[in-house]
Amino acid sequence: AQTVTQSQPEMSVQEAETVTLSCTYDTSESDYYLFWYKQPPSRQMILVIRQEAYKQQNATENRFSVNFQKAAKSFSLKISDSQLGDAAMYFCAYREAQGGSEKLVFGKGTKLTVNP
Amino acid sequence: NAGVMQNPRHLVRRRGQEARLRCSPMKGHSHVYWYRQLPEEGLKFMVYLQKENIIDESGMPKERFSAEFPKEGPSILRIQQVVRGDSAAYFCASSPPGVTAGPQETQYFGPGTRLLVL
- What secondary structure, in 3-state letters, does chain A show? CCEEECCCCEEEEECCCCEEECCEEECCCCCEEEEEEEECCCCCCEEEEEEECCCCCCCEECCEEEEEECCCCEEEEEECCCCHHHCEEEEEEEEECCCCCCCCEECCCEEEEEEC
Digitized pLDDT (tens) for each residue of chain A, 116 residues in all: 789 999 999 999 999 999 999 999 999 888 899 999 999 988 889 999 999 998 889 999 999 999 999 999 999 999 999 999 999 999 999 998 766 668 899 999 999 999 99
A111 at interface of B, judged by CB pairs closer than 8 A: no
- On whether the CB atoms of residues A110 and A6 are closer than 8 A, the answer is yes
A36 at interface of B, judged by CB pairs closer than 8 A: no
Beta-carbon separation of A95 and B105 below 8 A: yes
d(CA B34, CA B23): 9
Mean of pLDDT over chain B: 91
State which H helix or E strand residue B71 sits in: none
Residue of chain B whose Cα is closest to the Cα of A92: B42
Beta-carbon separation of A44 and B45 below 8 A: no
User: Quick one: residue B115, left, alpha or beta (phi over 0 = left, psi -120 to 50 = alpha)?
Assistant: beta
Beta-carbon separation of A102 and B48 below 8 A: yes
Interval B63-107: pLDDT, tens: 999 999 998 899 999 999 999 999 999 999 998 876 665 666 788
Interval A87-97: pLDDT, tens: 999 999 999 87
Cβ contacts of A106 on chain B, cutoff 8 Å: 35, 42-44
